Structure 1
Amino acid sequence: MTTDAAPPAPSVPTTPLEPGRSPGRIPMWDTARFVAVTLVVIGHAIQRQTAGSEHALALYTFIYAFHMPAFGVISGYFSSAATPTADRMRRTFTDIVVPYIVMQTIWTVVQAVVEGGKEFNPTKPTWTLWFLLALGIFRLILPYLAILRWPLLWAVVLSIGVGYLDNVDSTFSLGRAISLLPFFLLGWQVKRWGVFDRWYEAPRRVVVRIRAAAVGVFASWAVACLLFIPQFKGFDLHHWFFYDDSYSGLGEDAWWAGGVRLGLVLLATVLTASFLLLVPRRTVWITRFGAATMSVYLLHTFVLYPIRESGILAGEHSAWPYVLLMVVVACAVSLFLAQPFVRRGMRWLLEPKVDWLFRREPVER
């Protein structure tokens, strides 16, 4: 009989969006990567329907409560707080900076042609590109936070505090990066605590009990999204899950707004933990797509953009059957973009060779 047990964890790439470069990978985390990026695609696919459908808004709110925090935890889990080496700094350029500049340029041209009046501004990331910059910021500040006592606590303080500052905005994704920093630090801390090392070896009876509790958490949140969606809509709760605006920008500049952020961080933490605990520990059929999250994340927007901008998802096409249809379309898009031939064919764009950027001789100290 096949069990859910997984072997000890080998090394894996350091971010949830990186292409597969490591000879050994952990099935659970590859599966989690692909499911998480598919949730991103679903969220973007149904976003235009949320204005006319409470069903779409309920699903959208359900997903946005934890899917980007989950990415933060995954990226933190595989990050290092050691002093950056020349090779690691070089990979930051090739995996984050160069793809960001390339895709930002392409999107500037596309939006200028379709919408008009768009100027190239690399400090203001377009659509999904903000997360690439956030990853760069996470990597940059982790070694500094790691030398402090209680780094996770400081990350939470920064996340809550930045919401009171109107001048910290989407420039270089700084506001979002600081707001989501606790999840990145949580992933890094969880790795140091060895939580998932014990989870890989947990006996089946323990796994069943813990997963039953995780199902209960998700079921409770799903029921809340269905029953209280009018209240959530009135409060603009889904906008809080973007983590990209100050409290005053969200319409809540009272002193207690930071408490709302703290509550949402705790909610996202519980949901993210439940999500990861429900991911199979063994290899399943979608595990092999976990190495393709970069191509899915960066390319799905080009597939969805014409649909979103056409206006076809408004009016009667916001009804729940069409919401389900867009969920199916989003899953199909995610699976298609994760295929090996897509990755190979788009490597020149997503992983351009930029060796000419780097000096060959050692840097003098």
Structure 2
Amino acid sequence: MTDAAPAIERPAARSTPRAKVRVPFWDNARFVTVALVVMGHAIQRQTSDSDAALALYLFVYAFHMPAFAIISGYFSKASPPSSRQILKILSDIVVPYVIFQSIWSAVQWIVEGNTNVDLAQPHWTLWFLLSLAVFRILMPYLVLLRFPLAWAVILSVAVGYSPGVDSTFSLARTVGILPFFVLGWQLRQWKVADWWMRLRVGVWPIRLAALAVFATWAAAVIVNLVPFRNLSVHWFFYDDSYQGLDAQQWWAGFVRLGLLALTTILCAAFFALIPRRQTFWTSFGQATMYVYLLHSFVLYPIRESGVLKDDHASATWLLTMVFASIALAIALSSP
């Protein structure tokens, strides 16, 4: 029997940058989240005349933007930003914000006669771009503190007591949902997603628990729909002070704290139900920014025309808008 051939030393291959491997789970979550954004905006005008629309609207708004923030935080770095990273923030977030803010100002001038151009007051969906820019700049300094997630929660609760912090540069909403962005970053440090990807036994019990969470929340919304209709939905927007929400009491911060806890549970249930494998919509999750920025141009004339009021707020029209929203999200995220 002959000996094995000796290994031949070869010159070390020149290292080449490895292409980033996309994880289907996150692209699946991105698309579902942005589809919920489109749906929420599509049915908003129906909520004043339809209990079913209001129930669906409240159900979705309790967690869909925080889930978006968690995904963004998961993929954010906490190291001090380099000049290249600052330029990337400017090119990927700030420049699109300025462009689309200008476009929306022109649209409102043409359609509504509104001549007020104010870059500090983001139009409609554009607030999240400003929030992303703030998150990415603030994060490296926030993590220098011990327990950054706890500090983010404290800031979110405390900002509601400051009527001076409002929609200017989307500051109230940015600080309000900051805990979810930090939570996303923290989940990566804890390797929770890695554990979830490797899990083989116990997946379905967790998913059944997630379904139970959503069923409980849906039931709570339906049973308490009248109180919810009388309360301001802006509690779920995190975009106003407690005084602006007609809650001047000292304990109003505990209401927000409770909402943060509720939303965290709902987000956990949401991610537990997202498929981990490749799906037919996985590729759509790679183009969510296009969907987020462009869907409002399609919905704007429909919303402003008043066609979704009165009889057009029926269950049939509600289902029509839901399916149309999904189709719109697919169309805008397709190649």
In the other structure, the counterpart of 2:115 is 118
Q: Secondary structure at the match of 1:58?
A: helix
Q: Does 1:258 align with 2:256?
A: no
Q: Secondary structure at the match of 2:202?
A: helix
Cα shift at 1:289: 0.5
Selected match of 2:72 from 68, 71, 75: 75
Cα shift at 1:228: 1.2
Q: Does 1:337 align with 2:303?
A: no
Cα shift at 1:296: 0.3
Q: Distance in 1 between matches of 2:20 and 2:194?
A: 19
In the other structure, the counterpart of 2:231 is 235
TM superposition score normalised by structure 2: 0.93
Q: Distance in 2 between matches of 1:190 and 1:88?
A: 22
Q: Does 1:36 align with 2:33?
A: yes
Cα shift at 1:117: 2.2
In the other structure, the counterpart of 1:108 is 105
Structure of larger gyration radius: 2
In the other structure, the counterpart of 1:325 is 320
Cα RMSD, aligned residues only: 0.8
In the other structure, the counterpart of 1:3 is none
In the other structure, the counterpart of 1:307 is 302
TM superposition score normalised by structure 1: 0.86
Q: Distance in 2 between matches of 1:115 and 1:262?
A: 38
CA deviations on 1:60-101 (whole Å, 9 max, x unpaired) are 000000001001111110111101112211110111001000
Q: Secondary structure at the match of 1:251?
A: coil
Q: Secondary structure at the match of 1:24?
A: coil
In the other structure, the counterpart of 1:160 is 157
What pairs up with 1:204-215 in 2 under 5 angstroms?
205-215=201-211
Extract unaligned runs of 5+ from structure 2.
1-18
Which residue identity lines up with residue 211 of structure 1 in the other structure?
A: R
Which residue identity lines up with residue 230 of structure 2 in the other structure?
A: G
Q: Does 1:26 align with 2:23?
A: yes
Which residue identity lines up with residue 61 of structure 2 in the other structure?
A: Y
In the other structure, the counterpart of 2:14 is none
Q: Distance in 2 between matches of 1:229 and 1:118?
A: 38
Which residue identity lines up with residue 231 of structure 2 in the other structure?
A: F
CA deviations on 1:285-314 (whole Å, 9 max, x unpaired) are 000001110100000000000100111001
Q: Distance in 2 between matches of 1:176 and 1:192?
A: 25
Q: Distance in 1 between matches of 2:94 and 2:56?
A: 33
Which residue identity lines up with residue 330 of structure 2 in the other structure?
A: L
Q: Secondary structure at the match of 2:166?
A: coil
What pairs up with 1:99-248 in 2 under 5 angstroms?
99-203=96-200, 205-236=201-232, 238-248=233-243
Q: Distance in 2 between matches of 1:315 and 1:235?
A: 21
Q: Secondary structure at the match of 2:156?
A: helix
Q: Distance in 2 between matches of 1:77 and 1:23?
A: 15
CA deviations on 1:3-30 (whole Å, 9 max, x unpaired) are xxxxxxxxxxxxxxxxxxx642110000
Would you say how many aligned residue pairs link Structure 1 and Structure 2? 317
Q: Distance in 2 between matches of 1:29 and 1:328?
A: 23
Cα shift at 1:118: 3.0
Q: Distance in 1 between matches of 2:42 and 2:249?
A: 34
Aligned-residue sequence identity (percent) comes to 55
Q: Distance in 2 between matches of 1:126 and 1:72?
A: 19
CA deviations on 1:168-210 (whole Å, 9 max, x unpaired) are 011111111000000001011110001111110001x311111
Q: Distance in 2 between matches of 1:196 and 1:101?
A: 34
Runs of 4+ displaced beyond 2 Å:
none
Q: Distance in 1 between matches of 2:167 and 2:234?
A: 14
In the other structure, the counterpart of 1:296 is 291
Q: Distance in 1 between matches of 2:109 and 2:326?
A: 29
Q: Distance in 2 between matches of 1:210 and 1:124?
A: 41
Cα shift at 1:115: 0.8
CA deviations on 1:141-187 (whole Å, 9 max, x unpaired) are 11111010011100000000000000001111111100000000101
Selected match of 2:54 from 54, 57, 60: 57
Q: Does 1:93 align with 2:87?
A: no
CA deviations on 1:258-290 (whole Å, 9 max, x unpaired) are 011001111110001111111011110000001
Q: Distance in 2 between matches of 1:225 and 1:323?
A: 17
Which residue identity lines up with residue 52 of structure 1 in the other structure?
A: D
Moved more, 79-88 or 307-316: 79-88
Q: Distance in 2 between matches of 1:120 and 1:25?
A: 39
Cα shift at 1:138: 0.4
Q: Distance in 2 between matches of 1:165 and 1:263?
A: 19
